[in-house]
Structure 1
Amino acid sequence: MRDLGAGFRYLLEGQRWVARHGKSYGFGLLPGLITLVLYAAALVALALWGEDAVAWATPFADDWASPWAGLFRGFLTAVLFALAMLLAVLTFTAVTLLIGQPFYESLSEQVDRDLSPDGTAPESGLPLWRELWISARDSLRIVARAAVWGVLLFALGFVPVAGQTVVPVIGFFVTGFFLTEELTAVALQRRGVELRDRLALLRSRKTLVWGFGTPLGLAFLVPFVAVFLMPGAVAGATLLARDLRGEENRDRDDDPAGALGAGGDRARP
């Protein structure tokens, strides 16, 4: 329970950090806005032509008696849109981080400098094109894992009682885990931590990860909220990454204005 609270506190501290750094927050909004427009256009197109696509994909139902063909295709259209919405939630962070890689790298580095006792931030030493390639490759791997979980949970949703109670709760925790992985990747990639090691690190502190990512995933379900929370989520994920790595933070005595918030405490060794 303590780690759950700590994870949520990092989420709040990240939002507080960007609120005190207006310029970084403003630049951090741009990638989310671009991604939102792209996703909204895709979902609108699916809503307009999804039924036609389902009808094209199910020619065998053309000769079915009324109303079975309509009910069957209506059900498939609803399933298709529901899967698209789930995939949008699971991939929004990955796509936004990829589009906004330079913005979020800079923001994460600023958080590290604020917290580091010597005012420095870890650097990968890689050229930008290489960082973008690694980010895109790892994001595709995470999206594939998340998609498998999404399909599995969607199928389990048809189980009576459990499908309407237990499965949605599990789904939120799964979403929270993958969201946290994507967000902490910004800070951990700069530290040279590979995807497999990142996943092992996150699994070692699941309650901390859930405390950060699960409420964020719930918030992302509200339209437009993800855009405004993304900069603070990256900042908070940097705080969480420092905790996971056991890195020392600046003392509160060195930060009399309290600008570091809860992150001013020393990280757990």
Structure 2
Amino acid sequence: MRALRDFTGGVGFFFQGLGWVARNGRWWLFGLIPALIAFAVYVVALIFLGTNASDLAAFLTPFADMWSWREAFRTVVAVALVLGGLAVAVITFTALTLAIGDPFYERLSGEVDPLETDDDQPWWRTLPRSIRDSLVTLLYVLLFTIPLFFLGFVPVIGQTVVPVVGALVSGFFLTVELTTLAMERRGMVRKDRFALLRANKSSALGFGVAVFLLFLVPFVAIVAMPAAVAGAALLVRTRLAPTPPTPTPNPPSPAP
């Protein structure tokens, strides 16, 4: 029961982030800029993949040249390539958007989650580390998603178990990406961030799966990205790494 409560609580943090950007429309518009740029990049890449999927499928399957049913087989491969490209786009959209919009989302996260001891560094100093961490996260994602991609062709399992596991994996790593800003501002390195999210797996999954499913809907990823960043900051501030209260100084001892 507690795991389910934490999962639904994680979902709720996205809606809290949505409420925050709804009350602060200027910041929502501010956060749309990098999402629109990333979206344009993916549209061009997916159009290119879609128009060349048949040729790419033929290039990847030379062994099928002598098959009588090679066209049908290569059509399935081409469709799988397009669907795989779409899945990769969904999984990596957040990483690319955060990399493009690092200075934007640093400010947005700081506005949602102000810290009295905040020691912000210039974005050009944090950008290389952010890109490196995103690449490491992407490597972890691929370690899971590549086997899941091939398991998707297995009858029954590929249509039932694999989509659920894929959503959980993608959701967790989306939470990893989105909470990085707020955790880095608390001085947490990648190892510590992963450990904290694993310790709060249900909350991390609830938040990330909700974001992942929304990001599957065309154009919603653009609109929801600022809300996801705000929700992640609230998740860190409230659930994962609450800001410690400022210690009150001890009153002076009365004079003897």
Q: Does TM, scored on the shorter chain, surpass 0.5? A: yes
Could you tell me how far apart the structure 2 residues matched to 1:150 and 1:8 are?
A: 23
2:227 is aligned with 1:232: yes
Cα distance, 1:248 vs structure 2: 4.6
> Which of 209, 212, 216 pairs up with 1:214?
209
Counterpart in 2 of 1:156? 151
Cα distance, 1:249 vs structure 2: 7.7
Cα distance, 1:164 vs structure 2: 1.6
Q: Alignment length, in residue pairs?
A: 242
Counterpart in 2 of 1:122? 118
Question: Which stretches in structure 1 are left out of the alignment for 5+ residues?
Answer: 251-269
Could you tell me how far apart the structure 1 residues matched to 2:166 and 2:233 are?
A: 24
Give the direction of change, closer, same or farther, for the CA distance of 1:146–1:190 in structure 2 (3 Å limit).
Answer: same
Could you tell me how far apart the structure 2 residues matched to 1:151 and 1:20 are?
A: 40
Could you tell me how far apart the structure 1 residues matched to 2:9 and 2:63 are?
A: 54
Amino acid at match of 1:247: T
Counterpart in 1 of 2:171? 176
2:82 is aligned with 1:81: yes
Counterpart in 1 of 2:138? 143
Counterpart in 2 of 1:190? 185
Amino acid at match of 1:74: T
Contact 1:86 1:150 in 2 (8 A): no
Counterpart in 1 of 2:241? 245
TM-score normalised by the chain length of structure 2: 0.89
**Alignment RMSD, CA only?**
1.7
Q: Note the alpha carbon deviations across 1:130-166, whole angstroms, 9 max, x for none.
A: 2100110000111111112111112222333232212
Percentage of identical aligned residues? 48
Could you tell me how far apart the structure 2 residues matched to 1:75 and 1:249 are?
A: 58
Counterpart in 2 of 1:15? 18
Contact 2:53 2:79 in 1 (8 A): no
Question: Which stretches in structure 2 are left out of the alignment for 5+ residues?
Answer: 247-256
Contact 2:105 2:229 in 1 (8 A): yes
TM-score normalised by the chain length of structure 1: 0.85
> Which of 38, 56, 59 pairs up with 2:59?
56
